[in-house]
Amino acid sequence: MIVVLTGGTGGAKFVDGLRQVVPSKDLTIIVNTGDDLEWWGLYVSPDLDSITYVLAGLLSKERGWGVKGDTFFCLQAMGDLGEPIWFTLATAILRSTCCARNCLSKARPYLRSQLKSQPRWVSRPKFFP
């Protein structure tokens, strides 16, 4: 068994490479939550999102974060309303964040809500915030 403490875009790339050579059943990932924040009233966990997207094969290789092919329509609309937009939330991230917010309001675990909002995986390592 290999346990990885990770976070950020570099951590997501490391985990992506590691999972190519280590069977998922032998990999446990503990993800940084020190950068979590509340944004527009939503709880956002950027490092957990990055790990979730890389494990699902959805991470944008161009940006190194977020979902490939994602849009920023909501971000633009929030900017038009005068809301701060320095923290870039794309549509897919907002979707999972809204799902997480809903689960948290019902006292469901945050990680479970993240997994619920992502495509099903054939095999994935264990990972925890």
CATH of 2-128, one of 3.90.75.20, 1.10.8.240, 1.10.3720.10, 1.10.579.10: 1.10.8.240
pTM beyond 0.85: the answer is no
- Segments making up each domain of the chain, as ranges: 2-128
Q: Each residue of 44-96: pLDDT tens digit?
A: 888 888 888 888 888 888 888 888 899 999 899 999 999 999 888 888 778 77
Distance between CA atoms of residues 42 and 77, nearest Å = 16
Mean pLDDT of 6-19: 89
15, 31 contact by CB (below 8 A): no
16, 60 contact by CB (below 8 A): no
Looking at residue 106, its pLDDT comes to 66
pLDDT-derived band at 110 (thresholds 50, 70, 90) equals: low
What are residue 125's phi and psi, to 5 degrees? Answer: -70, 165
Q: Which 8-state DSSP code applies to residue 67?
A: B
Distance between CA atoms of residues 15 and 58, nearest Å = 14
Distance between CA atoms of residues 95 and 114, nearest Å = 10
Mean pLDDT of 39-43: 85
Given a cut of 90, whether residue 14 has pLDDT beyond it is yes
Looking at residue 77, its pLDDT comes to 92
